[in-house]
A = this chain, B = another copy of it.
Amino acid sequence: MPTLERSGDVFVLDLGDTENRFHPDWLSAVGAALDEVEGADGPRALVTTATGKFFSNGLDLDWLGAHPDQHEGYLADVHALLARVLSLPVVTVAALQGHTFAAAAMLSLAHDLRVMRADRGFWCLPEADIGMPFTPGMSALIQARLAPQTAHVAMTTARRYGGDDALAAGIVDHAVPADAVRATALELAAAQAGTAGTTLATIKDRMYRPVLDLLRDHTDPRA
């Protein structure tokens, strides 16, 4: 389960040491961690990372399959998480130490900066291959954060990007050795801790107003 620690001005959110799929309990724990980051005072920033082979594999398809009647509320909660991270009033850095797939790739794009392990692991939006189209809010988020042809290729061909490919495509800001992922993210976050506050919140809110509206007003387009 997700845990939150603080190292100086930087909160470190560890998403877990399994596939770290978005189970409802996992979503609650992440939400509580974000409450703590948002509610704190003074200089602060957030690094989101995980332990082991996966950053996260995204939606919890097993849970979804077992709870078909809660499909809509679950997706609304996922959209709310993406909106919340995208508009968090502190600088956020995703430290991608392992595989980052589907909704987890979107979660990484909701952060301000991304650091990825260079030698192993993939960043991938497999939706075109597995028959799950992006919702309008997800589509808007990805398109707002990537260059047009990068978004197009990632979304229509399900390409798997290694660290160096992701850097070249502008999906991540840094690709570094495995043992430098977390430290690089911490350094980037600490350098921006002084920016936390209402000005940053307003800047992000105005930059991504149409995306945030789609994410927050999400209702299942299949309904």
Evaluate contact between A157 and B206: CB separation under 8 angstroms: no
Evaluate contact between A145 and B148: CB separation under 8 angstroms: yes
Evaluate contact between B202 and A158: CB separation under 8 angstroms: no
Name the B residues within 8 Å of A145 (CB-CB): 148-149, 152
A199 interface contact, C-beta 8 A: yes
Query: Shortest beta-carbon distance, A51 to chain B, in Å?
Result: 27
Evaluate contact between A148 and B158: CB separation under 8 angstroms: no
A18 interface contact, C-beta 8 A: no
A61 interface contact, C-beta 8 A: no
A170 to B170 Cα, complex, angstroms:
12
Evaluate contact between B149 and A200: CB separation under 8 angstroms: no
Evaluate contact between A134 and B203: CB separation under 8 angstroms: yes
A9 interface contact, C-beta 8 A: no
Evaluate contact between A133 and B195: CB separation under 8 angstroms: no
CB-contacts of A59-84 with B (<8 A): none
Cβ contacts A91-103/B at 8 Å (1 or 0 each): 1000000000000
Evaluate contact between A195 and B149: CB separation under 8 angstroms: no
A112 interface contact, C-beta 8 A: yes
Query: Shortest beta-carbon distance, A210 to chain B, in Å?
Result: 10
Query: Shortest beta-carbon distance, A146 to chain B, in Å?
Result: 6
A90 to B152 Cα, complex, angstroms:
14
User: Footprint of B on A, CB under 8 Å?
Assistant: 91, 112-113, 127-129, 131-136, 139, 143-149, 151-153, 155-158, 170, 173, 192, 194-195, 197, 199-200, 202-204, 206-207, 209
- Interface pairs (18), CB distance under 8 Å: A91-B156, A112-B153, A127-B199, A128-B200, A131-B197, A131-B199, A132-B199, A133-B202, A134-B203, A136-B206, A136-B209, A139-B206, A139-B207, A145-B148, A145-B149, A146-B149, A155-B203, A157-B195
Extra contacts besides A132-B199, A145-B148, A149-B173 (9): CB < 8 Å:
A112-B157, A128-B195, A128-B199, A128-B203, A129-B194, A135-B206, A144-B148, A145-B152, A155-B207
